[in-house]
Amino acid sequence: MATMLSVKDLHVSYGAIKAVRGVSFDINEGEIVTLIGANGAGKSTTLNTVAGLIKPESGTVEFQGKSIVGVKAHKIVEQGLAMCPEGRRVFTHMTVAENLEMGGYTRTDAENAETIELVYEHFPRLKERMRQVAGTLSGGEQQMLAMGRALMSRPQLLMLDEPSMGLAPILVEEIFDIIKTLNQNGTTILLVEQNASMALSIADRGYVLETGKINKTGTGQDLLHDDDVRKAYLGG
């Protein structure tokens, strides 16, 4: 199995605040890997750094064997690494179709015409609302749009930052089902979640992040049954 993403000894600070202190992890092609941890553990910071939005102090990030530290975020998307950010961040004044078009910014119109149909297959509700302004969508629909938008670049690796945040349980199920389907169709997934039990139950492997450091790793099932993890993240 080829390594898709390899992060080694990553350090990231915001001024004097050290948010990430020596994080290392790997993702193999075809896997779902989850990063779990409490609020402020450094999960989003790690993802944002990999995506090129933040520059790390030190450490290496290799995507498909090539270093992407210092590469501009928009170039990283071109290489096949997309991120669906925390809080969705859809373009609220633009329509659903325009949001998806922005997701496919690095692709040709012909490619986008194809991909958008695939996205509508995963998210039929987006098709019904394609001309609706994104700001008027419900939270769940906005999450679907944010994911669909990230898929438009046809990524090999999709990073999802808390896709279940603020959603009703039934929608959370739906989103996780779609994540599994995407993975079965060949997209490698890095999933950050507060909802640790859901995330671990679909993940091949997981990493537990605590105050900027990885303190545990294992298969999804191992972590799901680990006493420390159960106490800290699964409510007993």
Partner 1 sequence: MFDVTFVTQLLNGLQLGSIYALIALGYTMVYGIILLLNFAHGDIIMVGAYISWIVMSQLGMSPVLAIILSVAGCTLLGVLIDKVAYAPLRDAPRLSILITAIGVSYFLENGAQLVFGADAKVVPQYFEMDNLMLGDVQLSSVSLLIIIVTAVSTAVLTYVVNRTKLGKAMRAVSEDMGAARLMGINVNNTISFTFAVGSALAGIGAVLYSMAYTQASPTMGIMLGTKAFVAAVLGGIGSIPGAVIGGLLVGLAETFVSAIGLSVWKDAVVFLMLIIVLVVRPTGILGRPMTEKV
Ligand X SMILES: Nc1ncnc2c1ncn2[C@@H]1O[C@H](COP(=O)(O)OP(=O)(O)OP(=O)(O)O)[C@@H](O)[C@H]1O
Sites of contact with Mg ion (CB under 5 A): 44, 86
Q: Taking CB under 8 A as the rule, does residue 98 contact partner 1?
A: yes
Q: Which of 29, 38, 64, 91 binds partner 1 (CB under 8 A)?
A: 91
Residue 165 Cβ vs ligand X, minimum distance, rounded to whole Å: 8
- How far is 147 from 213, CA to CA, in rounded Å? 27
Q: CB atoms < 10 A from the CB of 192, how many?
A: 23
Q: Which of 38, 71, 102, 118 binds partner 1 (CB under 8 A)?
A: 102
Query: Residue 194 binds which entry of partner 1, ligand X, Mg ion, none, with Cβ cut-offs from 5 to 8 Å by kind?
Result: ligand X
Task: Tell me the backbone φ, ψ of residue 170, rounded to 5 degrees.
Answer: -65, -35
∠ at Cα 27 (23, 30), nearest 5°?
A: 165
Calculate the dihedral angle through the C-alpha atoms of 47, 51, 57, 62, rounding to the nearest 10 degrees: 100
What is the C-alpha end-to-end distance of the chain, expressed in Å?
A: 35
Contact 212, 56 (CB under 8 A): no
Q: Taking CB under 8 A as the rule, does residue 139 contact partner 1?
A: no
Q: Taking CB under 8 A as the rule, does residue 52 contact partner 1?
A: yes
Kindly identify the residues of this chain, within the stretch 149-178, that bind partner 1 according to CB under 8 A.
149-150, 153
Provide the 3-class DSSP secondary structure of residue 16: coil
Residue 186 Cβ vs ligand X, minimum distance, rounded to whole Å: 27
Taking the least distance from each CB to partner 1, the nearer of 98 and 222 is: 98
The gap from C-alpha 197 to its chain's centroid, in whole angstroms, comes to 17
- How far is 94 from 101, CA to CA, in rounded Å? 10
Q: Which of 55, 66, 93, 131 binds partner 1 (CB under 8 A)?
A: 93
Query: Residue 166 binds which entry of ligand X, Mg ion, partner 1, none, with Cβ cut-offs from 5 to 8 Å by kind?
Result: none
By rule CB under 6 A, what string of x and - marks binding of each residue 35-54 to ligand X? --x-xxxxxxx---------
Task: Tell me the backbone φ, ψ of residue 113, rounded to 5 degrees.
Answer: -60, -35
Q: Which of 57, 72, 139, 173 binds partner 1 (CB under 8 A)?
A: 72
The gap from C-alpha 141 to its chain's centroid, in whole angstroms, comes to 17
Q: Taking CB under 8 A as the rule, does residue 85 contact partner 1?
A: yes
Query: Which H or E element spans position 7?
Result: strand 3-14
- List of residues contacting ligand X (CB under 6 A): 14, 17, 19, 37, 39-45, 86, 194
- List of residues contacting partner 1 (CB under 8 A): 51-53, 72-74, 77-78, 82-83, 85, 87, 89-94, 98, 101-103, 105-106, 149-150, 153
